[in-house]
Structure 1
Amino acid sequence: MVRYEILGSLEVIHEGRICTPTPPKVRTVLALLVMRANRVVLVDSIIRELWGDDPARSAVTTVQTYIYHLRKLFAKEGIETPDRTVLESRARGYLLRVEPGQLDAEVFETMLDQGRSHIESDRPEEGAEVLRRALAMWTGPVGANVTFGPALEAHAIHLQEQWIRALELRIQADITLGRHRELIGELRYLVGTYPLNEWFHRQLIVALSRSGRRGEALQAYHHLRRVLSEELGLDPSPDLQRLQREVLAAGGPLRPGLARAS
């Protein structure tokens, strides 16, 4: 079965062989077809992705040439056969036929939904495990070896937001399971990578406090306050300010967590 991977470098894998096209613009066309799998991608959309608002007069012919190269590659690698058409010509565009399980981004989003469902059903252990496997599918930035135009950029942003949501849900499940100490290193990395994401800061403060490191939890809060003030001229949200007061008081919802973490 052929697999299309986009959660990292774009790769086409068939029977253990990597069959990804080499020419950059052909890769971009393939990435657009993969991102919009089982939907018609108009020739006009491909032209806009490749050349923006200033295409050459030969743009339509050039797109047809790129599609020809993809079909030739698929035929050579046995992805497309006389009995099985994968890349279909449609009115004013093209469609890449992808079956369930062939596209890693689709599998990832299915697993994200499963993980969310487990957590909402009060099964955090199962949710954390599914989400851990989903996140492990990512090998780098979306389409790392592809030059993006506006449509691919929008798809990449969507998938990146889904990655962050999966990460948040997995961390939420791990905190519910009392894995506060194990999370501290990861959360320190995340607040450094996403300094304006208050959710990650909040979980770091909670994890430190529930691990008996109240002084470090307060330092983490003051670091967030400084970052928000310097970057945006803002104070932490009311929820974060309330959390700071709870850490100072060493009571409220943090106290049970401190006992569990011991």
Structure 2
Amino acid sequence: MEIAVLGPLSARVGQASVVPSAAKPRQVLALLALNCGHPVSVSSLVDELWGDRPPRSAEATLHTYVKQLRRMIGAALAPDDPRGPRDVLRRVHTGYRLDGAAGGTDAAQFERLTLAGRSALERGAEAAASTLLIRALGLWRGPVLADVALGPVLRAEALRLEELRLMALEERFGAELRRGRHRTLIGELAALTSRFPLHENLHAQLMLALYRSGRTGQALEVYRRLRHVLADELGLEPSTQVRRLHEALLRGDPVLDSPAAAPRGDLAPPAGPGRGREDVPMPTVPGSPLPVAAR
């Protein structure tokens, strides 16, 4: 069974799709797919489908949806397959479990690759880190479960994965900046800062990439725009780290020219599309009070 959730929902047994067209059975399959190999409780499935106002018949209706999914799986299984649909979609003590995806889902593969990329980055292996992170990001085909109506449980998991995607992007940009590939990042960073106008780390990475490409005026304009948006939307100034980067740009501090000056320390937990990893101090270049916003 092949399952993909990083984009439109896809679940195939052999060449046959087992994704139902009806919205609620599709939600059930999506939640089981995101937890492939692990049980999903009946209460979680009911919460996903009906929120805090389930009908009296919620569990019976849920069982009907599971029967529909099993029928589709049974029709897709090869005649000589020793498994039956109940082996693929199992009833367990607390709820249901979807089995049969030997390689795991694309989401599980994405998380494995990003962890490996982060480990390589911490070791200073920027080329390997960049390769692994590019592979991880290449698994995405669009927003998580782009063609599924998201209830509260799926929405929370989709948000978690989208934040991990943003974190992987930041780490990939950091690896490329350390390799001196600043020119190739400007377009992507410009698009992302437009999409996430409050995200300070991405703006700092764009400022550094522009500065190293001989475009200091544009780097300073990125800072001006960020400061204006933060003030208008949140009533805040940019973080101390970003302000110091701005001051270094104004001075033309030579430490900014060296890709080796980028931090190699511990990476912070995933950040949402807001102010970035503001709760974790940005590392400083040894021997200088200047933080380098390059990851």
TM-score of the superposed pair, with normalisation by structure 2: 0.83
State the partner residue of 1:160.
162
Q: Deviation at 1:100?
A: 4.6
Q: Deviation at 1:251?
A: 1.4
Contact 2:36 2:101 in 1 (8 A): no
- Measured against aligned partners, the alpha-carbon deviations of 1:78-122 in whole angstroms (never above 9, x if no partner) come to 179553511111124111124452311000000001111111111
Superposed counterparts of 1:68-217, under 5 Å:
68-78=67-77, 81-83=81-83, 85-217=87-219
Q: Deviation at 1:203?
A: 0.4
CA–CA distance in 1 between the matches of 2:132 and 2:102?
18
Matched letter for residue 150 of structure 1:
P
Do structure 1's residue 46 and structure 2's residue 48 form an aligned pair?
Answer: no
Structure 1 gaps, min length 5:
258-262
CA–CA distance in 1 between the matches of 2:13 and 2:170?
33
State the partner residue of 2:62.
63
Matched letter for residue 88 of structure 1:
R
Matched letter for residue 83 of structure 2:
D
Given the superposition, is the C-alpha separation of residues 237 and 153 from structure 1 closer, same or farther in structure 2, using an over 3 Å criterion? same
CA–CA distance in 1 between the matches of 2:258 and 2:129?
22
Q: Deviation at 1:37?
A: 2.0
Contact 2:3 2:101 in 1 (8 A): no
State the partner residue of 1:4.
3
Matched letter for residue 180 of structure 2:
G
CA–CA distance in 2 between the matches of 1:46 and 1:197?
34
CA–CA distance in 2 between the matches of 1:142 and 1:96?
19
Which structure carries more helix by proportion? 1
Q: Deviation at 1:39?
A: 2.1
Matched letter for residue 20 of structure 1:
V
Matched letter for residue 104 of structure 1:
D
Q: Deviation at 1:19?
A: 3.0
SS of match in other structure, 1:253: helix
- Alignment size in residue pairs: 256
Contact 1:79 1:86 in 2 (8 A): no
CA–CA distance in 1 between the matches of 2:241 and 2:185?
21
Aligned-pair Cα RMSD in Å? 1.6
CA–CA distance in 2 between the matches of 1:222 and 1:199?
15
Shift >4 Å, 4+ stretches: 79-82
Superposed counterparts of 1:223-262, under 5 Å:
223-256=225-258
CA–CA distance in 1 between the matches of 2:258 and 2:40?
54
State the partner residue of 1:260.
none
Contact 1:183 1:207 in 2 (8 A): yes
CA–CA distance in 2 between the matches of 1:96 and 1:17?
17
